[in-house]
Structure 1
Amino acid sequence: MSLHAAHPLHPTQSARARWFPGRPGSISQVRRFIAEELPSHPRQDDAILLTSELATNAIEHTRSGQHGDGFFVTVEHTCTEIVRITVHDSGNRQQTPHVTKPETDDEHGRGLFIVDALADRWGSRKGWHGQETWFEI
Structure 2
Amino acid sequence: MRSQEQTSPQDDAPSGLSDSCAWRREFPGEVSSVPAARAWVHGLLAVRLAPPMLDDVLLLLSEVITNAVTHSDSGRTAGGRVTVHLTHDPGAVHVEVADDGSTTSTPAVYVPDADSDGGRGLWLVDLLATAWGSSRHDDEAGRSVWFQVSG
TM-score (normalizing by structure 2): 0.77
Q: How much has 1:67 moved relative to structure 2?
A: 2.0
Deviation of 1:129 after TM superposition, in Å, equals: 3.6
Q: Does 2:24 match 1:17? A: yes
Aligned 8 A contact 1:96 1:125 in 2: no
Q: Which amino acid aligns with 2:145?
A: T
Give the % identical residues.
37
Contact 2:25 2:83 in 1 (8 A): yes
C-alpha distance in 2 between matches for 1:129 and 1:95? 14
Which structure 1 residue ranges, 4+ long, deviate > 6 Å from structure 2?
none
1:109 aligns with 2:116: no
Corresponding position of 1:45:
55
State the distance in 2 between where 1:95 and 1:125 align.
13
Contact 1:37 1:75 in 2 (8 A): no
SS in 2 for 1:55: helix
1:63 aligns with 2:70: no
Q: Give the CA deviation at 1:82.
A: 1.8
5+ residue gaps, structure 2, are 1-18
Aligned residue for 2:133? 123
Answer yes or no: is the 8 Å Cα contact 2:72–2:105 preserved in 1: no
Secondary structure at 1:83's aligned position in 2? strand
Report the number of matched residues.
125
Gap runs ≥5 in structure 1: 1-11
Q: What displacement does 1:132 show?
A: 0.7
Q: Normalising by structure 1, what TM-score?
A: 0.85
**Aligned position for 2:104:** 94
Displacement of 1:94 after TM fit? 3.2
Counterpart-to-counterpart distance in 2, 1:52 and 1:67:
21
Shift of 1:24: 0.9
Residues 129 and 37 of structure 1: CA distance in aligned 2, closer, same or farther (over 3 Å): farther
Whether the 8 Å contact between 2:71 and 2:105 is mirrored in structure 1 is no
The offset of 1:96, in angstroms, is 2.8
